[in-house]
Structure 1
């Protein structure tokens, strides 16, 4: 049955208002200044739990550092969502087992519902005098995305200045002409010297990757400095630009001392030059291993794109006795494999029948994820059925116990 979001919002707004009234009544001599829904918990394709509800008063929150830290507040109402309609249980039941795409759509709808509950709760409690007109009622999520959406611009500036400063910094840099924008983001992301930015290094680096080819000179220049070489290599790999200039700069940086050369080698591997790095017998084994394994790890998923997966490079690395053990260790299950998309399937599918157990282990995990709940959910049904049968056969017949174990896990999910 389709989840009734309208009823969810209506009943939980009423429940939240009642819970806050109870908290306020328990501290009649105190002055409320904030109400927060916090401690959000969700598992992609799995449960979504209702957040906790807490009240802050001037008298009960003495530490300035805890003023907007709901877990540290005295007045908590952990059972506010335990209504007769059992909306919390019904929500988790409705979303558990959905495909990733469907689940993410439901998460977005849940987020909007919580924003509506916040607004409705504030309106009701200010109207009846339970809360003062200047109260802040907000969502306290870890990333801050819902927090920013749940308060007014004035509240954001007054009570959460760090978020306001970050938003202002992002708007300012996005308004710059492209050359100035590249320079500003390079400094904010730590590629070039400059004062700290309210934007934050991680967000600045993400925006830099979003610029595509215009950001390549930043990565190339960063390779020339010992302290930024690894960042430059990662940026160039994330940009997914295998141009002659980029490849030449990476090759020139390969002999770096320390661990920087492994980042450079990994970038070359992601950009299609892994076989050439593997052939360089003068390079350290760890460097050659990094080039071989990078296209098969979660490192591949960080960028703007990637070449379709093929096991040719991995097979060549495993056939090289000088690094075969290192390659196998780097690709142990649990180390973090790449996430497939539909374009990867033709190259990944033969991995289920490969003679090399390391490749079969990798293939059964990534294909299992692709056709399971964590996948896009838009694959051809006949293809999915055939792959499920192939994985079932591995459970029973594969000579490698680890492949059998991994296939059995995939078959159950």
Structure 2
């Protein structure tokens, strides 16, 4: 029997050879842009799949003459001078990298991604040093990483370059530092305005980041969510915030119940929040509520919506079973949870309640359990699960792939068994 041995990736050689490759590629682009004035080089279009491939980014050069639109000045995909093949060296580092990281457990893969990010930062810095030293690029050139989130971009430039060339990122960083320096009560108020829960001037922080910082405050942010529930235009945001905070105090539950009869879609969000906070059975029992609201309370703990925020009650299939047994909302529930809609991600605490789903009488529940338990026990799952339990779950999924009476369960289980 062949034994697969995973050889440690040589990051030092990766950095050395790809710095040389990037330098050669930029020199070629500068020659092709003869008489033009370079002002920026960017590594852009980063692509990775968690526990899967990590691809090398594209490399692009900007010159004063070739980038006329001010809006495109630091938008590498819009630049004329591109080299998509700069990393295709004789050592095949791109292929070797993807091979080395594919199918690693999530925690280990994330460590390798962090090391890749640092390697690219080093490659960019060393490429800049080499090309400024030999006169290929001017002293004031900007060489940076252009990632979608902006995390690597901020790390790849100096503070002065950030302020001069990427003022939006600089302003956001300054705004975050300022708000984090405030006492908690002031921070809550500032974040509530920045996130759009209360009136206030526009913030450089951005609504999405402001919400993340509110969630990080935990119970201190609860009054923001409760207050938002009382206004029709912010009710849905308040319900979502309270669900994401995962603070099921009597005050929170009372406020959500008061919001359930709201007109518009706010009541559906309130129902979903109650479902995520453990009150789904109570919402399901309220036949005076709209079917969509009751269905939202049933499905919310089982969709990717549950993964937002700071935590959740452990998963069981009791609520979903009850919802599917209720003829008035069964079709709505089944439509919301049909495969491909986006299921929740399990953690170890969910395992005792999720395991019975593989043997549930309801096919939809078996479908859900096959997918989420397959993910939990696969390479994207936590590394600290009991190995005997993992083998038992995988064996059961293999059995469902051939023995389950429902074709969709067999299909999903067969896919999980092959990956």
TM-score calculated relative to the size of structure 1:
0.99
Shift of 1:370: 0.4
The 3-state SS of whatever aligns with 1:17 is helix
1:79 is aligned, of 81, 85, 88, to 85
Aligned to 1:332: 338
* Aligned counterpart, 2:3: none
Cα distance in 2 for partners of 1:210, 1:84 equals 47
Residue in 2 that maps onto 1:125: 131
Please give the residue correspondences for 1:237-252 in structure 2 after superposition, counting only pairs within 5 Å: 237-252=243-258
Give ranges in structure 1 of 5+ residues lacking alignment. Answer: none
- In 2: Cα distance, 1:106 partner to 1:376 partner: 16
Residue among 98, 117, 122 paired with 1:116: 122
Q: Deviations over 1:342-369 (max 9, x none)?
A: 1100000000001111111110000000
Selected match of 2:355 from 349, 356, 372: 349
Query: 2:203 & 2:21 partners in 1: Cα distance?
Result: 41
The aligned residue for residue 181 of structure 2 is 175
Alpha-carbon offset, residue 378 of structure 1: 2.4
Shift of 1:392: 0.8
2:414 paired residue number: 408
Corresponding residue for residue 217 of structure 1: 223
| Counterparts of residues 62-211 of structure 1 (less than 5 Å) | 62-211=68-217
> What is aligned with 2:301?
295
Q: Deviations over 1:176-200 (max 9, x none)?
A: 1111100000000000011111000
Aligned partners of 1:71, 1:285: CA distance in 2, in Å?
Answer: 46
Moved more, 66-75 or 149-158: 66-75
Q: 1:138 aligns to what SS in structure 2? A: strand
What SS does the aligned partner of 1:11 have? helix
Where 1:282 maps in the other structure, the secondary structure is coil
Distance 1:82 1:326 in 2: 50
Following superposition, the deviation at residue 377 of structure 1 comes to 2.7
Q: Give unmatched runs, 5+ long, in structure 2.
A: 1-6
SS at match of 1:369: helix
Which deviates the most, 236-245 or 378-387?
378-387
Partner SS state of residue 267, structure 1: helix
- Aligned residue pairs: how many? 413
> SS of 1:303's equivalent?
coil
Which position in structure 2 is the counterpart of 1:320? 326
Shift of 1:28: 2.3
Give me the whole-angstrom Cα distance separating, in 2, the residues matched to 1:77 and 1:297: 41
Q: TM-score, normalised by structure 2?
A: 0.98
Structure 1 residue 52: Cα displacement: 0.7
Secondary structure at the residue paired with 1:199? coil
